[in-house]
Amino acid sequence: MALHGRVRGVFKVNEEKQRRKYTTVSIPVSLYERIKDLIKDTGFKSVSDYVTYVLREIVAMHEAERSSEPFTEEDVERIKQKLKALGYL
Protein backbone atom coordinates (compact mmCIF):
# COMPACT_ATOMS: atom_id res chain seq x y z
CA MET A 1 0.00 0.00 0.00
CA ALA A 2 1.26 3.50 -0.80
CA LEU A 3 2.49 5.44 2.21
CA HIS A 4 0.02 8.32 2.02
CA GLY A 5 -2.86 5.85 1.60
CA ARG A 6 -1.96 4.30 4.95
CA VAL A 7 -1.43 7.64 6.60
CA ARG A 8 -4.68 9.13 5.31
CA GLY A 9 -6.70 6.10 6.52
CA VAL A 10 -5.43 6.53 10.05
CA PHE A 11 -6.13 10.26 9.92
CA LYS A 12 -9.84 9.71 9.21
CA VAL A 13 -10.25 7.37 12.19
CA ASN A 14 -8.66 9.95 14.47
CA GLU A 15 -10.85 12.78 13.19
CA GLU A 16 -13.87 10.67 14.12
CA LYS A 17 -12.47 10.07 17.63
CA GLN A 18 -11.84 13.81 18.07
CA ARG A 19 -15.52 14.49 17.34
CA ARG A 20 -16.56 12.03 20.07
CA LYS A 21 -14.54 13.71 22.85
CA TYR A 22 -17.50 14.89 24.92
CA THR A 23 -20.65 13.29 26.26
CA THR A 24 -23.66 14.51 28.26
CA VAL A 25 -24.27 13.81 31.94
CA SER A 26 -27.48 15.00 33.61
CA ILE A 27 -27.40 16.96 36.83
CA PRO A 28 -30.34 18.61 38.62
CA VAL A 29 -31.18 22.05 37.21
CA SER A 30 -31.00 23.50 40.74
CA LEU A 31 -27.42 22.24 41.13
CA TYR A 32 -26.56 23.58 37.71
CA GLU A 33 -27.83 27.03 38.78
CA ARG A 34 -25.87 26.91 42.05
CA ILE A 35 -22.66 26.09 40.20
CA LYS A 36 -23.33 28.77 37.61
CA ASP A 37 -23.61 31.27 40.43
CA LEU A 38 -20.56 29.94 42.24
CA ILE A 39 -18.19 30.17 39.28
CA LYS A 40 -18.90 33.80 38.45
CA ASP A 41 -15.61 35.73 38.45
CA THR A 42 -13.53 32.58 38.83
CA GLY A 43 -11.30 31.01 36.22
CA PHE A 44 -13.97 28.48 35.24
CA LYS A 45 -15.49 29.24 31.85
CA SER A 46 -18.59 27.08 32.23
CA VAL A 47 -20.48 24.72 34.52
CA SER A 48 -19.09 21.83 32.46
CA ASP A 49 -15.54 23.08 33.14
CA TYR A 50 -16.21 23.19 36.87
CA VAL A 51 -17.89 19.78 37.01
CA THR A 52 -15.04 18.23 34.99
CA TYR A 53 -12.47 19.77 37.36
CA VAL A 54 -14.19 18.56 40.50
CA LEU A 55 -14.84 15.09 39.14
CA ARG A 56 -11.24 14.66 38.03
CA GLU A 57 -10.08 15.57 41.53
CA ILE A 58 -12.45 13.10 43.18
CA VAL A 59 -11.82 10.27 40.70
CA ALA A 60 -8.03 10.63 41.15
CA MET A 61 -8.47 10.49 44.93
CA HIS A 62 -10.51 7.27 44.74
CA GLU A 63 -8.05 5.71 42.29
CA ALA A 64 -5.16 6.50 44.64
CA GLU A 65 -6.94 4.69 47.49
CA ARG A 66 -7.05 1.50 45.43
CA SER A 67 -3.33 1.40 44.75
CA SER A 68 -0.98 -1.43 45.59
CA GLU A 69 2.82 -1.65 45.36
CA PRO A 70 4.05 -2.57 41.88
CA PHE A 71 6.49 -5.26 43.06
CA THR A 72 6.50 -8.71 44.66
CA GLU A 73 8.34 -9.66 47.85
CA GLU A 74 10.80 -11.58 45.66
CA ASP A 75 11.54 -8.36 43.73
CA VAL A 76 12.01 -6.54 47.02
CA GLU A 77 14.74 -8.90 48.21
CA ARG A 78 16.63 -8.64 44.92
CA ILE A 79 16.32 -4.85 44.86
CA LYS A 80 17.37 -4.53 48.51
CA GLN A 81 20.60 -6.38 47.72
CA LYS A 82 21.34 -3.92 44.91
CA LEU A 83 20.50 -0.92 47.08
CA LYS A 84 22.79 -2.20 49.83
CA ALA A 85 25.62 -2.79 47.35
CA LEU A 86 25.28 0.78 46.07
CA GLY A 87 25.21 2.20 49.59
CA TYR A 88 21.59 3.40 49.49
CA LEU A 89 20.59 1.09 52.37
Partner 1 sequence: MISRPHGGRLVNRVLASKRRERILEEVDEFERLNIDQGRAFDAENIAYGVYSPLEGFMLEEEFLSVLDDMRLPNDLPWTIPIVLDIDEKTAARIEPGDDVMLYYEDIPVAVLHVEEIYVYDKERFARCVFKTTDLAHPGVAKVFSMGKYLIGGRVDLINDPPNPFERYTLRPVETRVLFRERGWKTVVGFQTRNVPHLGHEYLQKSALVFVDGLFINPVIGRKKRGDFRDDVILSAYEVLLRNYYPRESAVLSIVRYEMRYAGPREAIHHAIMRKNFGCTHFIVGRDHAGVGNYYGPYEAQEIFKEFPDLGITPLFFREFFYCRKCGAIVNERVCPHDESFRLRFSGTKIREMIRSGKTPPPEFMRPEVAEAIFQFENPFVE
Residues that bind partner 1 (CB under 8 A): 1, 3, 6-7, 10-11, 14, 17-18, 21, 43, 53-54, 56-57, 59-60, 63-64, 66-67, 69-71, 75-76, 79-80, 82-83, 86, 88-89
Residue closer to partner 1, measured from CB, 33 or 79: 79
Q: Are 79 and 71 in contact (CB under 8 A)?
A: yes
Residue closer to partner 1, measured from CB, 22 or 29: 22
Least distance in angstroms from the C-beta of 86 to partner 1:
6
Candidates 52, 53, 56, 48; CA nearest to 32 is 48
Q: From residue 68, how far is each of 9, 64, 71 by CA, in Å? A: 40, 9, 9
Q: Are 35 and 25 in contact (CB under 8 A)?
A: no
Residue closer to partner 1, measured from CB, 28 or 88: 88
Least distance in angstroms from the C-beta of 89 to partner 1:
6
Candidates 27, 21, 30, 17; CA nearest to 55 is 27
